[in-house]
């Protein structure tokens, strides 16, 4: 109930200060809609920090930094260099909270920093239609909860993160989806929402990877990752500015050019990612690690080829 009240309070403030999203030629929606409703994900992290008596302080500080600059960006455009500086600072704090500074060499830390920045931006890029961010986040959190509470073949459940963290994140997603996962959304996540959600999910997932030393769990972000990477490559080949808004993602072609309802497209992404997650969970508990990595590589290649095939077919159909 408290989270619903916070969301309603934000809606009042957004109306008063005109924090809204007006449709343009690159938008996938019609009509004026409140932007930044995903600020609930920051509140979730903050509430957990307070009620858990200060758990994960460095992470919470990092979350605050990225949420703050993203909220400002939702109200007024922020220069890329300033936004990136805040993102990098927040990610470094997240890495510090996970003790990666002691677990990885310098080159490994640099790779994680770059990779994590890419994930955060992927979540931002993919937040373009009703239901997709909230639905995708829901699939990820449920998958993490399965591992946290159910042994699923392991000798004991994996204690990779405070269970309350996942529960609060789940509650935040339920509240956000109530307003966003509908034909006519009440609000959009905004930069503050997509970035804060990404931060919550990355922290939990990295905690799982560090605890298990199993990198195949990164496939929990496979669908977003493949869509984002291939779309960036496509735009680079076209010599487009990859930092500018666009409508080149597969989900955008499906929703805009093909006219498939937003929630149906979001449901497709959720379903594919859920199937991947359940496969990863099952095989991580019942298969030798070397076979898991072979299957992971094969899965990424298969999904990439499938993605390219469908995207080319759709583009040819749309463009004639």
- Could you state, in order of their start, the residue ranges of all structural domains in the chain? 2-17+35-319
Q: Write down the H helix ranges in 77-131.
A: 80-97, 100-103, 106-126
Query: Whats the size of the chain, residue-wise?
Result: 320
Please give the pLDDT value at position 175.
Answer: 97
List the beta bridge partners of residue 33: 21
d(CA 112, CA 136): 22
pLDDT score of 154: 59
Q: Say what the pLDDT of residue 275 is.
A: 98
Q: State the pLDDT at residue 32.
A: 81
What pLDDT does residue 25 have? 55
Contact yes or no for 204/45 (Cβ under 8 A)? no
Do 106 and 237 touch, CB atoms closer than 8 A?
no
Query: Looking at the DSSP assignment, which residues form a beta bridge with residue 187?
Result: 34
User: Which contiguous run of DSSP H or E holds residue 33?
Assistant: strand 33-34
Q: Is residue 152 within 8 Å of residue 281, measured between CB atoms? A: yes
> For the whole model, what pTM was predicted?
0.95
CA 135 to chain CA centroid, Å, is 10
DSSP 98: T
How far apart CA 260 and CA 251 sit, in angstroms, is 9
Residues 6+ positions from 126 with CB-CB distance below 8 Å: 132, 133, 136, 194, 224, 227, 228, 249, 251
Q: Could you give the CA distance from residue 230 to residue 26 in angstroms, rounded to a whole number?
A: 19
Among 217, 207, 168, residue whose Cα is nearest residue 59: 207
What is the distance between the alpha carbons of residues 239 and 217, in angstroms, rounded to a whole number?
33
The pLDDT value given to residue 28 = 60
Close Cβ partners of 103 (under 8 Å, ≥ 6 residues apart): 210
Q: What is the pLDDT along the chain (320 residues), one digit of tens a residue?
A: 789 999 999 999 998 888 887 765 555 656 688 999 999 999 999 999 999 999 999 999 999 999 999 999 999 999 999 999 999 999 999 999 999 999 999 999 999 999 999 999 999 989 889 999 999 999 999 999 999 987 566 556 788 999 999 999 999 999 999 999 999 999 999 999 999 999 999 999 999 999 999 999 999 999 999 999 999 999 988 888 877 777 889 999 999 888 899 999 999 999 999 999 999 999 998 899 999 999 999 999 999 999 999 999 988 887 76
- Which positions ≥6 away from 250 have C-beta within 8 Å? 227, 231, 307, 310, 311, 314
Query: Residue 157 has what pLDDT?
Result: 72
């Amino acid at each position: 109930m408290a989270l619903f009240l916070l969301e309603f309070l934000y809606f009042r403030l957004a109306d008063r200060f005109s924090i809204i999203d007006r449709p343009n030629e690159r938008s996938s929606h019609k009509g004026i809609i409140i932007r930044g409703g995903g600020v609930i994900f920051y509140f979730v992290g903050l509430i957990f920090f307070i009620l858990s008596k200060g758990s994960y302080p460095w992470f919470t500080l990092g979350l605050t930094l990225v949420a703050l600059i993203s909220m400002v960006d939702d109200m007024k455009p922020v220069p890329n260099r300033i936004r990136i500086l805040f993102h990098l600072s927040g990610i470094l704090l997240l890495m510090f909270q996970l003790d990666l500074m002691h677990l990885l060499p310098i080159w490994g830390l640099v790779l994680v920093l770059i990779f994590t920045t890419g994930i955060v931006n992927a979540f931002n890029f993919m937040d373009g239609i009703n239901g997709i961010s909230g639905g995708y986040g829901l699939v990820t959190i449920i998958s993490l909860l399965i591992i946290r509470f159910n042994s699923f073949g392991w000798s004991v459940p994996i204690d990779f993160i405070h269970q309350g963290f996942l529960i609060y994140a789940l509650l935040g997603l339920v509240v956000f989806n109530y307003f966003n996962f509908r034909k006519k959304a009440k609000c959009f996540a905004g930069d503050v929402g997509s970035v804060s959600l990404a931060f919550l999910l990355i922290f939990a997932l990295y905690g799982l990877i560090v605890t298990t030393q199993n990198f195949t769990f990164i496939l929990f972000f496979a669908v977003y990752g493949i869509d984002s990477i291939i779309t960036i490559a496509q735009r680079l080949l076209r010599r487009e500015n990859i930092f500018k808004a666009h409508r080149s993602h597969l989900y955008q072609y499906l929703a805009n050019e093909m006219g498939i309802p937003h929630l149906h497209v979001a449901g497709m992404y959720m379903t594919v990612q859920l199937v991947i997650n359940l496969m990863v969970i099952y095989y991580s508990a019942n298969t030798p690690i070397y076979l898991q990595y072979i299957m992971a590589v094969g899965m990424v290649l298969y999904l990439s080829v499938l993605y390219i095939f469908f995207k080319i077919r759709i583009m040819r159909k749309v463009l004639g």
